Structure 1
Amino acid sequence: MTNATTEATVLDQLDGGLFIGGEWVAAEGGKTLTVTDPATGKTIKEIADASVADGIRALDAAVAAQDAWAATAPRERGELLRRAFDLLQERKEEFALLMTLEMGKPLAEARGEVAYGGEFLRWFSEEAVRISGRYGLNPEGTGRMIVSQRPVGPSFFITPWNFPLAMATRKIAPALAAGCTVVIKPPALTPLTTLAFVQLLEEVGLPAGVVNVIATSTSSKVSGPIIADPRLRKLSFTGSTEVGRSLMQQAAQGILRTSMELGGNAPFVVFQDADLDKAVDGAMMAKFRNIGQACTAANRFIVHESVAEEFADRVAERVKAMKVGRGTEEGVNIGPLIDAKAVDSADALVQDAVGRGATVLTGGNRIDGDGTFYAPTVLAGVAAGSRMLSEEIFGPVLGISTFADEDEAVRLANATEYGLVSYVFTQDLARGHRMIDRLATGMMGLNTGLVSNAAAPFGGVKQSGIGREGGLEGIHEYLDTKYTLIPVS
């Protein structure tokens, strides 16, 4: 097939409706929203645009299906997730292409996301049968204690645009494994992958009402009544800290269980004894994966003054060789940013840093023409007070600052309200262990630029959120603990 034919096929086979109660339906009043390719600015699909009433209908369906799904055998729930994993592997090229079309990431990275996102299906298919409790005599000897786990209940998910598949599977898989039904609201910018994934779930035998999907252009308007509904018992959100705070305030009214994966401002610390080959490789991965549009992206490169110049030169050389273009093109490393606003934001941070004395080693400019492209950029000598040291960049911009000793490195790394992930490069094992203890982040990569794994708990501290996704911890976000006492007669 030609590229164009493949694109047309992937888009044509996608149902663009809302998925409510096991049926693909039009939005109230037939309203639609437009999905565009950020590499070209052209429309690629018109899909249903949910109203407030549509959102409540989706919650109705989830509530109606909850008891039956909770009573479904754990093995059966796990087998459904495993079938979904297997079918996703068969269709990995279709999903990768769809993500590239709606989000812009290079095809190679989209394939990586299919692999990563699929692992949550496989992991939680195995965890579904391992939900456990305990039984024993109480200390006084007066009764037997039973501690059991029960599904939290109907759950509402709000996912971001930057990882269209993985953010859906990371939430849906543990919820289904635990016995919870779902309403998911994918982002208006990249809703197509979620729709395709739910079509896949339907194909492998998902019961009606267990997962419901409502894309909408009026997110807060549609989400508000769902969150306020007393039948909802769980809210999970991935996105900005600002929006997360607002959602937590809304969730407080119903005392909802919440999981919040919010903003990041990851430090990338390179000590004087670091293996610079590994540090440069790690920097390229931690900064430029997903075009820098990731909450885990390295945001502040804090490099020892004795190796800062060499590190900057080596990184700049690698960045200069990166190919910018549409993600479907051969050899492209950097695709478009998600929209024009993202380009404006990245450029403003660069210009602010340059205005405070930073030196542009490569890039530092918008790219004219179709699409929303920004040149991959390396800045040296980023001064204290520069906005990029306190704001999430969310673009292909790498800024380097220096430090003199370990205490200063720790101070600079922790000088943020965020605490999602940190990266440290050192060959000193004792120092590495000290950094594990001293850096205030929920995750850390020691001599690596990639930490995400379905078997590990993903999440942060401070303003980066609460709760964990993935790992042994992930399924417990969807379980309530119940204690029962049976008196000894």
Structure 2
Amino acid sequence: MTTTTSTQSSGAADAPRSGIGVVDAAPKQLFLDGRWQDAAGGRTLPVDDPATGRELCQVADASPEDGRRALDAAVAAQESWAATAPRARSEILRRAYELIIERKEDLALLMTLEMGKPLAEARGEVGYAAEFFRWFSEEAVRIDGGMSRTPDGANRVLVMRQPVGPCMLITPWNFPLAMGTRKIGPAVAAGCTMVLKPAPQTPLSSLALAAIMTEAGLPPGVLNVVTTTDAAGVVEPLLRSGDVRKLSFTGSTQVGRILLSQCADTVVRTSMELGGNAPFLVFADADLDKAVDGAMIAKMRNMGEACTAANRFFVHRSVADAFATRLAERMGALTVGPGTQDGTDVGPLIDAAGRDKAADLVQDAVRRGAKAVLGGEAPDGAGYFYPPTVLTDVHPDSALMSTEIFGPVAAILTFDDEDEAVRAANDTEWGLVGYLFTENLDRALRVGEKLETGMVGVNTGLVSNPAAPFGGIKQSGLGREGGRVGIEEFLEYKYLAIPTGQG
């Protein structure tokens, strides 16, 4: 199998290759020990286009035995990969970055076909994904330690950093390329080998990424990719085996709890980027133009299918009507359609279950008294589309207040004072990200400090950046990805005590 290739410029204005050509060229087998291989028994799983509900292709469906083969390859490659010079690891990541940028159009189209997001957003994700490789290519050569003397002078303390060892990486379907590079990048930079299990809905982006890594010079066994419909059967034995020393998972809090329990017996080091229930606070002194612009990004990025998506809009009563009207006008002007279609702003949700979940949450809110000032009804026809929806007069007991919507639904509630807004924002088990809009610097700092989240957007609806530490608190996760601390999750400290002959 070979990766998708293109002889075209990567400019967004260029026409991408046909969907059929890109899907046909994409790898569809398991990637084990540097070779493309069929799953045991030749099992395959379907990959569907959420814009039509029709099958795009079949890819290998790994068994637990295939998962074990992947981990065996990672374990066998660990020692030699850890000994590889940091500069060599850095240059592999840099070459992979350049290949991703070169093939932006094909990778974006492939992602749109399997996931549904509009091509413009897919192109943006490809660029974002590539930046993790560029960032961690620079971090690979900056892994440091230190030397000091103990207070009594009897020993020198030599501190070094070493790779944690073979890693299990599990990525979600909503950002299939970027979540792969955000995990692979620091693991490669640190000297760790990997088994990557992408979501079964979106395996093609991960398989294309594995091919690019190989072309960039990654040695066999360092990265292994298993696509499967049997996540529990494949992953649990590996986590309990004692050979996996690190798990990095992005997904739901419910699944994260299960994985944490499976890691406990062998004390596997974990990073967990779990669910979100982001509050979006608009104060009376906010610039409403900025607030609506921020809301469009925080709510409508990726059709709302993002853990960072604004879920609960708390707006000061004095500006609530104006904010709701402006937001509904902006969201109502968006074009819903297949992601491959010119002019599409909002693509389909990932599958029927995702669309039905959004519809059920809206219906529950309306039954409790909410008003749908925009949208609120799923359209008939093919594909898993749900329209941009704005709800006002939302009752605090509505199910969508305590459920991650993962759809283009903005639920607006009002508040009268700052303390009330903060209490409502923090009234959730999650704590990934929050957003606040105010022109008062003191309030911005004060409320930002009080919000129980790992990240806060102040007068902005976008917090994700490869140079920043991404992650949450409470039941939104453990650890951080990206930024200078991202590589720390894949490194262990070791200290050597060396007698000085004194003291």
Q: TM-score range by the shorter chain?
A: over 0.9
Answering whether residue 295 of structure 2 is matched by residue 277 of structure 1, we say no
Contact 2:16 2:105 in 1 (8 A): no
Query: Paired residue for 1:399?
Result: 411
Listed one character per residue, the Cα deviations across residues 139-180 of structure 1 (whole Å, up to 9, x for unaligned) are: 111110011110000000111000000000000000000000
Listed one character per residue, the Cα deviations across residues 249-294 of structure 1 (whole Å, up to 9, x for unaligned) are: 0001110000000000000000000000000000000001000000
Answering whether residue 319 of structure 2 is matched by residue 299 of structure 1, we say no
**CA–CA separation in structure 2 for the residues paired with 1:396 and 1:158:** 25
Contact 2:78 2:193 in 1 (8 A): yes
Answering whether residue 470 of structure 2 is matched by residue 454 of structure 1, we say no
Runs of 4+ in 1 over 3 A off after TM superposition: 1-5
In the TM superposition, 1:142-181 aligns within 5 A as 142-181=154-193
Query: How far did residue 5 of structure 1 move?
Result: 5.5
Query: How far did residue 15 of structure 1 move?
Result: 1.6
In the TM superposition, 1:293-372 aligns within 5 A as 293-372=305-384
Q: Which amino acid aligns with 2:364?
A: D
Question: Which shows bigger deviation, 80-89 or 2-11?
Answer: 2-11
Query: Paired residue for 2:11?
Result: none
Give unmatched runs, 5+ long, in structure 1. none
Query: Paired residue for 2:432?
Result: 420
Query: How far did residue 52 of structure 1 move?
Result: 0.5
Q: Which amino acid aligns with 1:120?
A: F
Query: Paired residue for 2:402?
Result: 390
Query: How far did residue 350 of structure 1 move?
Result: 0.4
Answering whether residue 305 of structure 2 is matched by residue 288 of structure 1, we say no
Query: How far did residue 423 of structure 1 move?
Result: 0.2
Answering whether residue 103 of structure 2 is matched by residue 91 of structure 1, we say yes
DSSP-derived class of the 2:346 partner: coil
Q: Mark the CA change 1:4 to 1:469 in structure 2 (over 3 Å): closer, same or farther.
A: closer
In the TM superposition, 1:232-251 aligns within 5 A as 232-251=244-263
In the TM superposition, 1:221-240 aligns within 5 A as 221-240=233-252
Query: Paired residue for 2:128?
Result: 116
DSSP-derived class of the 1:342 partner: helix
Query: Paired residue for 1:81?
Result: 93
TM-score (norm 1): 0.99
Query: How far did residue 58 of structure 1 move?
Result: 0.1
DSSP-derived class of the 1:454 partner: coil
**CA–CA separation in structure 2 for the residues paired with 1:77 and 1:477:** 17
Query: Paired residue for 2:205?
Result: 193
Query: Paired residue for 1:441?
Result: 453
Query: How far did residue 460 of structure 1 move?
Result: 0.1
- Of 468, 473, 476 in structure 1, the residue corresponding to residue 488 of structure 2 is 476
Listed one character per residue, the Cα deviations across residues 388-417 of structure 1 (whole Å, up to 9, x for unaligned) are: 111100000001000000000100110000
Listed one character per residue, the Cα deviations across residues 353-380 of structure 1 (whole Å, up to 9, x for unaligned) are: 1111111111001111110111110001
In the TM superposition, 1:253-268 aligns within 5 A as 253-268=265-280
Query: How far did residue 204 of structure 1 move?
Result: 1.2
**CA–CA separation in structure 2 for the residues paired with 1:436 and 1:48:** 46
Query: How far did residue 66 of structure 1 move?
Result: 0.3
**CA–CA separation in structure 2 for the residues paired with 1:12 and 1:307:** 52
Answering whether residue 147 of structure 2 is matched by residue 128 of structure 1, we say no
Query: Paired residue for 2:3?
Result: none
Listed one character per residue, the Cα deviations across residues 66-96 of structure 1 (whole Å, up to 9, x for unaligned) are: 0000000000000000000011100001110
TM-score (norm 2): 0.96
**CA–CA separation in structure 1 for the residues paired with 2:387 and 2:377:** 6
- Of 81, 97, 116 in structure 2, the residue corresponding to residue 69 of structure 1 is 81
Q: Which amino acid aligns with 1:155?
A: C
Q: Which amino acid aligns with 1:236?
A: S
Listed one character per residue, the Cα deviations across residues 281-313 of structure 1 (whole Å, up to 9, x for unaligned) are: 000000010000000000000000000000000
**CA–CA separation in structure 2 for the residues paired with 1:45 and 1:123:** 33
**CA–CA separation in structure 1 for the residues paired with 2:484 and 2:106:** 30
**CA–CA separation in structure 2 for the residues paired with 1:3 and 1:146:** 56
Query: Paired residue for 2:50?
Result: 38
Query: Paired residue for 2:224?
Result: 212
Query: How far did residue 188 of structure 1 move?
Result: 0.5
**CA–CA separation in structure 1 for the residues paired with 2:19 and 2:367:** 43
Query: Paired residue for 2:4?
Result: none
**CA–CA separation in structure 1 for the residues paired with 2:62 and 2:238:** 13
Percentage of pairs with the same residue: 61
Q: Which amino acid aligns with 1:128?
A: A
In the TM superposition, 1:8-47 aligns within 5 A as 8-47=20-59
Q: Mark the CA change 1:430 to 1:340 in structure 2 (over 3 Å): closer, same or farther.
A: same
Query: How far did residue 383 of structure 1 move?
Result: 1.1
- Of 56, 60, 70 in structure 2, the residue corresponding to residue 58 of structure 1 is 70
Q: Which amino acid aligns with 2:190?
A: A
Q: Which amino acid aligns with 1:325?
A: G
Q: Mark the CA change 1:244 to 1:155 in structure 2 (over 3 Å): closer, same or farther.
A: same
DSSP-derived class of the 1:471 partner: coil
DSSP-derived class of the 2:18 partner: helix
DSSP-derived class of the 2:484 partner: helix
**CA–CA separation in structure 2 for the residues paired with 1:232 and 1:415:** 36
